[in-house]
Amino acid sequence: MMNPRIALLLLALVLDAWAAPCPDWPTVQAKAEITALGAQLAAWDDAYHRQGVALVADELYDQARAQLEQWRSCFAGIGPPPTDPLSGSAGRVVHPVAQTGLRKLADHAEVRNWIATRNDLWIQPKVDGVAVTLVYRDGHLRQAISRGDGRSGQDWTTQAQRLPAIPQRLPTALDLTLQGELYWRLPEHVQAEAGGLGARGRVAGLLARQTLTEQDAAGIGLFVWDWPDGPAEMRERLQQLDALGFADSLRFSQPLSDFSAARHWREQWYRNPLPFASDGVVLRQGKRPAVERWQAAPPHWAAAWKYPLSQALAVVQAVDFRIGRSGRITPVLRLQAITLDERRIEYVGLGSLQRWQQLDIRPGDQVAIRLAGLTIPKLDSVVWRSPQRRRLAVPDADTYHPLSCWRATPACASQFRARLAWLSGKQGLALPGVGPATWDKLLQAQQIDGLLDWLSLSESQVRNLPGFGERSAAALLHSFGLARQRPFADWLRAIGLPPSGDAPLADNWDELAQRTSSDWQRQPGIGPSRAAQLQAFFRHPQVQALRDQLRGARIEGF
């Protein structure tokens, strides 16, 4: 709730996701990496605290700062000293009561322990907005102060006087100090489905402006999460806040009995509609120390239990260029393993070579990963680029196409392996028990060099293959035997026949090979481009060599 990213300077924030071995860097590189990431964080801090602009999602900022702290612990004394992320945010207006921030509980065990050692507990949503202190004198709003560094902040009084969510006059002439969160109104917002939507940055940006439109002002709400000089009992504080016009406080505060109740409310607020974005829950004791003892540091009487990350920051360890059966090049990022929604992620595909060229991702870069459809890892953005731009061996897109790589040469390893996987898969011959791992063993044993060399393996050769026991060798021989019985059309697809739509296929090779482009275009569903592909397939020397092998093996139709 209250504390934006700025509480992150505490080392306790270092996340489990970054519990990784130290990078194997020489001193010069370590200094360059630490300096560059520190400069990036400083730029983000400046934009956020001085301009009210969030250049990066808060949870990604959290992880980037944790990463920097980990590197500093790995390379002590290397690089410039750490900068204070709050250095540009303090302002000149002193808070009448320090804004404390929150310690973040890492997992279920920490939450259980925290609850077990306290009583008179309550739980609230951790509203994802910007923290503010409101000062009332004789029932009138006299001052609004941004959180700043927790001790002093910017004067937001002029902006606060424009916000309908902040009462300018209370129904009772009281002197009081409130701490709360200014949030962007998001009716029926489900955090688990929509995420934060940049709501915090939007509010921060609006408050940094000199003027606010009526529409923008009406879009900002207020959640009061503490009344430092209010009644000692939490329930009484909440009831009086409600009577004073701060209804969200009572509506979204629940008494807490045990861990099960905490887990229930965390799940409830994560997966059901709320009028604001939230990034977790806050556990707090009803009774607090006297306000004179409050400090701008996480207190012992309140803590945050964050929601699961919607995005995870991952370090790119390598970029693999996988070439598919048709010659399509798909860059795949090898990542330092991360956990996202209880899933371990080590690889993410970029879809196309063109996208990689646009993004220019290199080893050492840090990228944001999210789950598409809650299951498939997806690259969301490049968050930070390493200053070390390592040169990569990028395959030439013009070299690979549907008629390239019919043999196991070094340059063709990826596409040739994809051809083998297609041949034995359900799209081809559907050979039981024969998959990429099987072909890898045959390739490592140097038993196949061409796509169909396995047809000539004898029974004794198969039984003596390294990595095959008696049972697995017998199963492989059985599958190879089944291959010989597959129909002509299955064999055509297995060796790479371009899609032929609804066009009827003859039952022998010679008839199909004699078809011209015009002949193919007369078939249903075949246009000029596909006709040219089909004609080129049957005329290609490597394909004709496959036909000769199949005819020599007495496969029907060839």
DSSP string, 328-357: -EEEEEEEEEEEETTEEEEEEE-S-HHHHH
The domain tally of the chain equals 5
pLDDT band at 3 (very low <50, low <70, confident <90, very high): very low
Tell me, yes or no, whether 415 and 377 share the same domain.
no
pLDDT, the chain, mean: 89
pLDDT for 469 equals 84
Per-residue pLDDT, 57? 79
pLDDT average, residue stretch 122-147? 96
Whether residue 4 is predicted with pLDDT greater than 60 in this model: the reply is: no
Q: Where are the alpha helices (DSSP H) in 209-368?
A: 214-218, 234-244, 247-251, 259-271, 353-359
Joined tokens for residue 17: 């996701």
| High-pLDDT (> 70) share of the chain, % | 94
Amino acid at 254: Q
SS3 264: helix
| Domain end among 291, 306, 321 | 306
Same domain, 457 and 500: no
The pLDDT of residue 53 is above 80: no
The predicted-structure confidence for 433-471, as pLDDT tens digits, reads as follows 999 999 999 999 899 999 999 999 888 888 888 888 888
**Global pTM?**
0.71
How far is Cα 311 from Cα 332, in angstroms, rounded to an integer? 18
Q: How far apart are CA 14 and CA 63, in angstroms?
A: 8
Q: Confirm if 128 and 183 have CB atoms less than 8 A apart.
A: yes
**What pLDDT does 8 receive?**
37
Q: What is the Cα–Cα distance from 277 to 126, expressed in whole angstroms?
A: 9
82 inside domain: no
Does 83 map to a domain? no
Q: Which CATH number characterizes residue 505's domain?
A: 1.10.150
**Mean of pLDDT values over 86-98:** 77
Q: In the prediction, which pLDDT does 374 show?
A: 63
User: Are 248 and 151 members of one domain?
Assistant: yes
pLDDT-based confidence at 89, cuts 50/70/90? low
Residue 360 has pLDDT above 70, yes or no: yes
pLDDT at 369: 93
259 or 370, which is more confident?
259
Q: Which of 265-274, 471-480, 518-527 has the highest mean pLDDT?
A: 265-274
For residue 292, pLDDT over 70 is answered with yes
Residue from 133, 95, 118 nearest 284 by CA: 118
Share of the chain above pLDDT 90, in %: 66
Buried/exposed 488-508: b ≥16 CB within 10 Å, e otherwise: bebbbbbbbbbebeebeeeee
Q: Tell me the per-residue pLDDT of 340-359, one tens digit each, with 9 for 90 and over.
A: 877 889 999 999 999 999 99
Q: Higher confidence at residue 231 or residue 210?
A: 231
User: What strand order describes the sheet that includes 176-184?
Assistant: 140-146, 130-137, 176-184, 220-226
Q: Read out DSSP for 374-437?
A: TTEEEEEEEEE--S------PPPGGG-STT---B--GGGHHHHHHHHHHHHSTTTT--TT-SHH
- Of 370, 395, 420, the one marking the end of a domain is 395
In a domain, 80, yes or no: no
Q: Which of 442, 459, 486 is the last residue of a domain?
A: 486
Q: What's the whole-number mean pLDDT along residues 217-230?
A: 96
Q: What is the pLDDT of residue 83?
A: 67
DSSP class per residue in 134-183:
EEEETTEEEEEEE-TTSSEE-B-HHHHTT-TTS-SB-SS---EEEEEEEE
Rounded-to-integer distance, Cα 252 and Cα 388, Å: 48
* 275: nearest Cα among 199, 162, 374, 167: 199
User: Catalytic: 126?
Assistant: yes
Q: Are residues 136 and 13 in the same domain?
A: no
Whether 14 has a pLDDT exceeding 80, the answer reads: no
CA 316, 319, 324 angle in degrees (round to 5)? Answer: 140
- Looking at the fold, whether 179 and 320 belong to one and the same domain comes out as no
Q: Average of pLDDT values for 361-373? A: 89
pLDDT at 51 over 70: no
pLDDT at 187: 95
> What pLDDT shows up at residue 341?
77
* Contact present, 430 and 456 (Cβ < 8 Å): no
| Domain CATH for 102 | 3.30.470.30
Q: Are residues 506 and 358 in the same domain?
A: no
pLDDT at 338 over 70: yes
- Assess whether 275 and 383 both reside in one domain: no
| Per-residue pLDDT band at 173 (split at 50, 70, 90) | very high
CA distances from 18 to 21, 83, 188, 230, 337 (A): 9, 20, 34, 40, 9
- pLDDT value for 398: 93
Residue 10 is predicted with a pLDDT of: 35
pLDDT for the residue 174: 94
Residues 176 and 285 in one domain: yes
Q: Is residue 146 domain-shared with residue 46, that is, in the same domain? A: no
Please give the pLDDT value at position 16: 43
Q: 359 with 387, same domain?
A: yes
For residue 157, pLDDT beyond 80: yes
* Confidence category of residue 17, pLDDT binned at 50, 70, 90: very low
Task: Note whether residue 88 is domain-resident.
Answer: no
Examine the pLDDT at 82 and tell me if it is beyond 80. no
Token pair belonging to 152: 């002093």
Contact (CB, 8 A) for 458 and 465: no
Least confident segment among 162-176, 305-319, 406-420: 305-319
* 454 and 429 housed in the same domain: yes
454 is in which domain, residue-wise?
402-486
Helix or strand or coil: residue 97?
coil
Q: What is the pLDDT of residue 186?
A: 96
Residue 266: pLDDT band (50, 70, 90) is: very high
- Among 31, 104, 126, 378, which one carries the catalytic annotation? 126
